[in-house]
Amino acid sequence: MLTHLDSQGRANMVDVTDKNVTFREAVAQAFVRMRPETLQMIVSGGHPKGDVFAVARIAGIQAAKKTSDLIPLCHPLLLTGVKVELSADGEDAVRIVARCKLSGQTGVEMEALTAASVAALTIYDMCKAVDRGMIIENVRLLEKLGGKSGHFIAEEPAGAQ
C-alpha cells in the first residue's frame, strides 16, 4: 500500500502522530563520473573555484536539512546528525556517501538521498566549465535503521564488484 495516498487515491502527508519516537538512521550514495583530468584537478586542490569536496559536503548537509522544503510530502525533521563523505573512486569518479540520524517518528531516507544528490549536483556545478559530460549515477539508499520496518541493507546491483 502506498502510504502517501488516502482512501480516494489523493496525495496526503502521512500522519505520524501515534508512531513511537525511535532512533533512525539512513545511508545513501551517489557517484559522479568524469574525465580523469577533472578528478585529478579536484583531488589535487587545483580547481580555481576552491575545494570542491568541501563545498559539496556543505551543500549536502544543507540539503538534508531542507528536504521537506523540496519534497512535498516529507515531514520537517529535527536531524541530530548529517555526515557527507566524498572520495575519489578509481580514476574517473567521485563517490558520495551521506548518513542522516535522528530520534523521531519517521525515517530519514529522503534526507540521506537528498544530501547525496545535492552533493553530486554541486560537484557538477563546480566542474561543468571543464567537463560538461559528467554523469551523476547510482543514487540509492544503502542502509536504513529503525522504525517499524526495521533494518534494510541494499543488495549489490548485478555486475557490481
CA quadruple 49, 51, 52, 55: dihedral sign: negative
- Per-residue pLDDT at 45: 84
Mean pLDDT of 55-65: 98
Residues 98/119, Cβ–Cβ less than 8 Å = yes
DSSP label of 5: B
The pTM score is: 0.89
Mean pLDDT of 144-161: 81
87-119: pLDDT as tens digits? 999 999 999 999 999 998 888 999 999 999 999
92 tagged catalytic: no
Choice among 6, 89, 125, 131 that is catalytic: 125
3-class state of residue 111 by DSSP = helix
Mean pLDDT of 8-19: 74
What residue type is assigned to position 72 of the chain?
P
- Per-residue pLDDT at 119: 98
Query: Does the pLDDT at position 160 exceed 60?
Result: no
- Per-residue pLDDT at 5: 57
CA quadruple 6, 78, 102, 17: dihedral sign: negative
Mean pLDDT of 7-23: 77
- Per-residue pLDDT at 127: 95
Query: Does the pLDDT at position 1 exceed 70?
Result: no
Q: Which residue has the cell 547525496?
A: 116
- Per-residue pLDDT at 105: 85
- Per-residue pLDDT at 67: 97
